[in-house]
C-alpha cells in the first residue's frame, strides 16, 4: 500500500504536535503532586536527554519547572511544526523533489551566528533569541525531511511488493 502524500503530511503534523506536547507536558506533570505523574515526567525528560543537554539556565520555565528541552531545541521543534503546517501552502503536497540545500544552509545561519557570538561572549545568552534562531532552522527541516521520508516509504512499498511477487510466484 502506497502512503499518499496527504496522509504522510497529516501523520507528520500529528507527530510533531505530539512531540511538542510532550516537551510541554513534562514540566506540567512534574508540578502535580502525584508520584505517578512525576514518574511519567521524568520518563519524558529521559526520552529527550539524548537530543538535548537540558541545562536549566538554557531552558524556558513553565509551571515552575524547566521544559523537557532547552530553548534552542524548543525553537527548532516549534519551527518544525510551523514548517509542516505551512508546507502545503508553500509546496502543495509535492514530495517528489527536495528543495535545494542552499536553503537549509541559509536557514541555519542565524543559529550558527548566535552560537558563535555566544562563544565569544558578544552578548549574554537570551532564551528568546536562541528559540527564534532555532525556529528558522526548524522551519526549513520539513522541506527536506518530508520528501525524503516520502521517497523512502515509496521504495519500501516497492520492495514489499517485489517480495510479495516473489513469494506468490514461488521464486524464493
The DSSP 8-state label assigned to residue 101 in this structure reads T
Let me know: does 71 contact 54? Beta carbons within 8 Å.
no
**Rounded Cα distance, 12 and 7, in Å:** 8
Predicted pLDDT at 1: 42
Q: Is 102 exposed, middle or buried (0-12, 13-18, 19+ CB in 10 A)?
A: exposed
Confidence of residue 39 (pLDDT cuts 50, 70, 90): very high
Q: Give the count of beta carbons closer than 10 Å to the beta carbon of residue 118.
A: 15
* 66, β-bridge pairs: 61
- pLDDT value, residue 77: 97
Cell of 28: 506540567
The predicted pLDDT at position 171 comes to 55
Report the predicted TM-score, pTM, of the whole model to 2 decimal places: 0.85
Asked whether the beta carbons of 43 and 21 are under 8 A apart, the reply is: no
Domain boundaries, the chain: 5-169
Place 163 in a pLDDT band, splitting at 50, 70 and 90: low
69 class by beta-carbon count within 10 Å (0-12 exposed, 13-18 middle, 19+ buried): buried
Residues 51-94 have pLDDT tens digits of 999 999 999 999 999 999 999 999 999 999 999 999 999 888 77
**Residue-level pLDDT at 126:** 95
Average pLDDT estimate for 10-18: 94
Beta strands in 19-158 (DSSP E): 61-62, 65-66
DSSP 3-state of 66:
strand
Residue with cell 512534574: 30
* 158: pLDDT strictly greater than 80: no
pLDDT digits (tens, 9 = 90+) for 91-135: 887 777 778 889 999 999 999 999 999 999 999 999 999 999 999
Across 155-169, average pLDDT: 58
Amino acid at each position: 500500500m502506497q502512503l499518499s502524500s496527504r496522509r504522510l503530511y497529516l501523520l507528520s503534523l500529528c507527530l510533531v504536535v505530539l512531540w511538542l506536547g510532550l516537551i510541554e507536558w513534562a514540566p506540567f506533570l512534574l508540578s502535580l503532586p502525584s508520584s505517578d505523574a512525576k514518574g511519567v515526567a521524568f520518563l519524558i525528560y529521559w526520552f529527550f536527554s539524548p537530543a538535548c543537554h537540558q541545562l536549566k539556565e538554557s531552558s524556558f520555565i513553565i509551571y515552575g519547572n524547566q521544559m523537557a528541552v532547552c530553548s534552542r531545541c524548543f525553537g527548532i521543534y516549534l519551527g518544525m511544526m510551523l514548517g509542516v503546517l505551512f508546507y502545503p501552502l508553500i509546496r502543495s503536497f509535492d514530495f517528489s523533489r527536495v528543495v535545494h540545500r542552499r536553503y537549509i544552509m541559509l536557514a541555519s545561519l542565524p543559529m550558527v551566528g548566535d552560537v558563535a557570538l555566544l562563544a565569544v561572549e558578544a552578548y549574554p545568552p537570551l532564551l528568546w533569541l536562541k528559540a527564534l534562531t532555532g525556529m528558522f532552522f526548524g522551519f526549513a527541516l520539513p522541506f527536506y525531511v518530508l520528501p525524503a521520508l516520502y521517497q523512502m516509504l515509496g521504495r519500501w512499498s516497492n520492495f514489499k511488493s517485489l517480495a510479495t511477487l516473489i513469494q506468490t510466484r514461488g521464486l524464493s
